[in-house]
Amino acid sequence: MRVMALALLAAVVFPFAVAAAPAELVTVKHPMGSTQVQVRPERVVVTGIAALDVLDAFGIAPVAVTKEYLPDYLAQYRSEQYATSGTLFEPDFEGIFSLKPDLIIVGPRSSDQFAELSKIAPTLVFAPDEQAGASYWQATQQLWRTLGRVFAIEDRVEAKIAALNAEFNAIAGRNRTEQNNALLVMSSGKNMTAFGAHSRFSALFRDFGFVNAAEVHSQSRHGELVSFEYIKQANPQHLFIIDRDKVVNKGRSTTHEQFDNALVKATNAYRNQAVTYLNTSAWYITASGVTATEIMISDVKQNLQMQ
């Protein structure tokens, strides 16, 4: 009776009131299935850095973010203006629940929490579908298009894809014409690992068009353990180095000193000034972000001495 009375009173006091229009919904696919999401969600929580990179590039401000391992170009999100959504691997469930989000975007490192987060709000995973077999750039385009549909910014997303696609094509075209080979290694403490054309860093070969300078047998996400003798024997024309210590050891690294040795200096890459320390954040932490992808392109162009 009380509910009916309040409804009647509202009809008298607000005779011209109309019901709010239902929210527009879109169903998007991601590695954990598909999710129905409100178009243009206003309260967005992000638990990974790459998705934050994309939102930032298109001027979309989330209410909560992961604040560890933020690259300098996303430093503004360390501000108290943005709540924390937890760590890269462990979301803050209580904090996220209290924010009453319209959408939760989960990064690859916390994707196993998808089911629990979905109990709070519609959730999608921002990570390449590794089962699909797409290259880095192909998978990244799909991820951007998914967010383009959710935030109704498809035209802006397509314009950015077209611009960067031209960059990828120019670099890959040159490398395939010249048959440039390359070796990509990651330094982590006293260990060094190499990565090939089917690794997490396959973009160098599949998208940028380099031929692998040496066989890499391991498909592990951590790469294949190698030595400086391996680098000398491979004798790459182009050498790319990821300094993982810059991330995991808070910037403390001796990688440059370790690579300043006679074995590396004996390579064609060193002689031709084609040894490049890749931007660790872009390649290792924020890969598939917009700014991250632009930085990756810039790193490769620098190595090739392209304008």
Exposure b/e, 31-44, CB count within 10 A at least 16 = b: bbeebebbeebeeb
Handedness of CA 62, 68, 69, 73 (dihedral sign): positive
Q: Are residues 115 and 222 in the same domain?
A: no
CA 2, distance to chain mean position in Å, is 52
Question: Is the residue at 205 inside a domain?
Answer: yes
Of 248 and 39, more confident: 39
Question: Is the residue at 2 inside a domain?
Answer: no
CB 207 within 8 A of CB 128: no
- Give SS3 for 240: strand
Token look-up 């005779």 returns 15
For residue range 21-34, list pLDDT tens digits in order. Answer: 467 999 999 988 89
Q: Are residues 199 and 287 in the same domain?
A: yes
C-alpha atoms less than 13 angstroms from C-alpha of 73 in its C-beta half-sphere: 20
CB 37 within 8 A of CB 27: yes
Percentage of the chain surpassing pLDDT 90?
77
Confidence of residue 123 (pLDDT cuts 50, 70, 90): very high
Contacts of 297 (CB under 8 A, 6+ apart): 164, 167, 168, 171
Of 5 and 212, more confident: 212
CB 124 within 8 A of CB 35: yes
Query: What's the pLDDT score for residue 22?
Result: 61
CB 65 within 8 A of CB 85: yes
CATH of the domain at 238: 3.40.50.1980
Contacts of 268 (CB under 8 A, 6+ apart): 235, 236, 237, 274
The average confidence (pLDDT) of the chain is 89
Q: Are residues 183 and 77 in the same domain?
A: no
Q: Are residues 151 and 267 in the same domain?
A: no
Q: Are residues 149 and 201 in the same domain?
A: no
Q: How many domains does the chain have?
A: 2
Question: Is the residue at 10 inside a domain?
Answer: no
Query: What's the pLDDT score for residue 1?
Result: 36
Contacts of 270 (CB under 8 A, 6+ apart): 239, 264
Q: Are residues 134 and 218 in the same domain?
A: no
Q: What average pLDDT does this structure show over 71-83?
A: 96
Question: Is the residue at 296 inside a domain?
Answer: yes
Q: What tokens were used for 85?
A: 């959504």
Contacts of 180 (CB under 8 A, 6+ apart): 174, 209, 210, 211, 237, 238, 304
Question: Is the residue at 3 inside a domain?
Answer: no
Q: Are residues 29 and 150 in the same domain?
A: yes
Q: Are residues 229 and 108 in the same domain?
A: no
Percentage of the chain surpassing pLDDT 70?
91
Question: Is the residue at 189 inside a domain?
Answer: yes
Query: What's the pLDDT score for residue 252?
Result: 74
Question: Is the residue at 102 inside a domain?
Answer: yes
Q: Are residues 119 and 233 in the same domain?
A: no
Q: Are residues 119 and 225 in the same domain?
A: no
Q: Last residue of some domain: 155, 189, 206? A: 155
Q: Last residue of some domain: 102, 120, 155? A: 155
For residue range 184-242, list pLDDT tens digits in order. Answer: 999 988 899 999 988 889 999 999 999 999 988 777 777 899 999 999 999 999 999 99
Burial (CB count <10 Å: 0-12, 13-18, 19+), residue 257:
exposed
- In Å, how far are 148, 162, 243 from 183, measured between CA atoms? 35, 28, 14
pLDDT value at 249 more than 90? no
Confidence of residue 251 (pLDDT cuts 50, 70, 90): low
Q: What average pLDDT does this structure show over 274-286?
A: 95
Query: What's the pLDDT score for residue 250?
Result: 67
Name the residue range of residue 236's domain: 179-304
Question: Is the residue at 17 inside a domain?
Answer: no
Q: Are residues 239 and 285 in the same domain?
A: yes
Confidence of residue 6 (pLDDT cuts 50, 70, 90): very low
Rounded Cα gap, residues 134 and 127, in angstroms:
12
Q: Are residues 41 and 108 in the same domain?
A: yes
Query: What's the pLDDT score for residue 73?
Result: 96
Query: What's the pLDDT score for residue 288?
Result: 96
